Structure 1
Amino acid sequence: MAEQTPASAPTELWVERTGTRLYTGRSSRGAEVRIGSESVEGVFTPGELLKIALAACSGMSSDFPLSRRLGDDYDATIRVSGAADRENELYPHLEEVLELDLSELDAEAQGRLVALVERSIDKVCTVGRTLKAGTNITLKVETD
């Protein structure tokens, strides 16, 4: 998900093998994440990263409408789940739950805000839009 502005180059992303089924994901902006098998403590699996990317994208896509209505210090948690179909090696269904305290709003205002948040996520969450639409993936193997 490299973002590009006219004055900047796209962020480069890569993973480096650090052990048996262990990798470190890196970005040209200096970020790192440890990736490995479910049996290894302190790492994310690739599937968990996919789910986290979806939840983070939904959170970021809803941040402006929520902060405008609830203030900059509102609390939100987005939980995401979905079991893998191991026979087909895919996630047939992912479920997100956005947890918010809207108790200061009346029922009508809550409904309007929830609808606005849903529209915002549907419109600008690149990860969610990509998963819903599907995408073409290519792999090129370079050898020495």
Structure 2
Amino acid sequence: MAKRLWVERGADGVWEGHSDDGAMIRFGRGEGLFTPGDLVQLALAGCAGMSSQFAVERALGEGKGAKVVVNARYSDDDDAFLSFDEQVNLDGSDAHLSDEDADKLVERVTRHIDKSCTVKHTYERETPVRMSVNVRR
């Protein structure tokens, strides 16, 4: 079962995302805050990083990880992201990889992300959103 998530506006006007297990993130508009659109991109980058972690550590050593950069193409007319450009960057300089080993690592990381990244799978398909608005009286 998926954990329950919700957002509420805090007393200071900043939005807070919560989960039943106690996680919390602050977001909104303004300096030092991620916007919801930023969080969409971070979700994609974070999913790729976490999905690739096993393959990266196996090839480059424990504690190593990817730096994942996501850029989005946005349409003002549609108020929607049209596409994402994701770069998974690995620093293999300490591992002294051969060209063949580097190519194998690229294949393994790609395979892990393609298999395990729920966010990527979701963004690649049309995902309906059902919304209801409730007013407590």
TM-score of the alignment, normalized to the shorter chain, above 0.5:
yes
1:1-144 to 2 correspondences below 5 Å? 4=1, 10-18=2-10, 22-37=14-29, 40-103=30-93, 104-144=96-136
TM-score (norm 1): 0.85
Report 1 or 2 for greater relative contact order, CA contacts < 8 Å, sequence distance ≥ 6: 2
| TM-score, normalised by the number of residues in structure 2 | 0.89
In the alignment of these two chains, the number of paired residues is 134
2:71–2:84: 8 Å Cα contact kept in structure 1?
A: yes
Percent identity over paired residues? 38
Deviation, 1:73, is 2.0
> More displaced, 114-123 or 13-22?
13-22
Structure 1 consecutive aligned stretches of length 4 or more whose deviation exceeds 3 Å:
19-22
Q: Structure 2 CA distance, aligned partners of 1:83 and 1:41?
A: 22
Aligned partner letter, 1:101: D
Q: Is the 8 A contact 1:85 1:92 kept in 2?
A: yes
Q: Are the structure 2 counterparts of residues 52 and 86 from structure 1 closer, same or farther at C-alpha, using a change threshold of 3 Å?
A: same
User: 8 Å contact 2:5–2:18 — kept in the other structure?
Assistant: yes
Matched letter for residue 120 of structure 1: H
Q: 1:135 to 1:21 in 2, by over 3 A?
A: farther
Aligned to 1:7: none
The answer for unaligned runs of 5 or more in structure 2 is: none
Distance 2:12 2:84 in 1: 28
Distance 1:93 1:20 in 2: 33
Q: Which amino acid aligns with 1:86?
A: D
Instruction: Give the letter for the 1:49 counterpart.
Output: L
Please list every run of 5 or more consecutive structure 1 residues that lacks an aligned counterpart in the other structure.
5-9
CA distance in 2, matches of 1:83, 1:72: 34
**1:11 Cα offset (Å):** 1.6
Secondary structure of residue in 1 paired with 2:89:
strand
Contact 1:34–1:42 (Cα < 8 Å) also in 2: no
RMSD value, Cα: 1.7
